[in-house]
Amino acid sequence: MKVLFFATIRDYTGVKETEAEGPGTVMELLTELASAYGSAFSDEAFEEGEISDRVIIMVNGRHIAHTGGGNTPLKSGDTVAVFPIIGGG
C-alpha cells in the first residue's frame, strides 16, 4: 500500500511517501512507521498507546473515525494519508 505524509509529518519522516506491506490495520501500520521513522514521528502519532488526536489518518480518502479507527483494515492497493492537525488563529 502507499503511505503519504504531509506538512510536519513529512518533516519527521524525511520522505513524501513510502510503500508498506499489507494487509493489517491502521494501528499496525502506524506502529511499523513509528519503528521506521523514530521518536519524532512516534510522539506525534501516538498518545498513551492510542492514535493521537494530533494526526488525521485517511484511508482511500475516508477519515478513519468513520471506518473503525485504529482497527480499520488495510489491504494491498490502499492509499493511507497522514496529516498533522493544523491550527490557526
8 A C-beta contact, residue 34 and residue 82: no
CA–CA separation, 69 and 10 (whole Å): 22
Which amino acid is it at 84?
P
Q: Residue 74: its pLDDT value, please?
A: 97
What is the per-residue pLDDT across 26-77, written as a single tens digit (0 to 9) for each?
999 999 999 999 999 999 999 999 999 999 999 999 999 999 999 999 999 9
Question: Phi and psi at residue 22, in whole multiples of 5°?
Answer: -125, 175
What are the extents of the domains in the chain? 2-84
CATH number of 2-84: 3.10.20.30
Grid cell in block for residue 61: 480518502
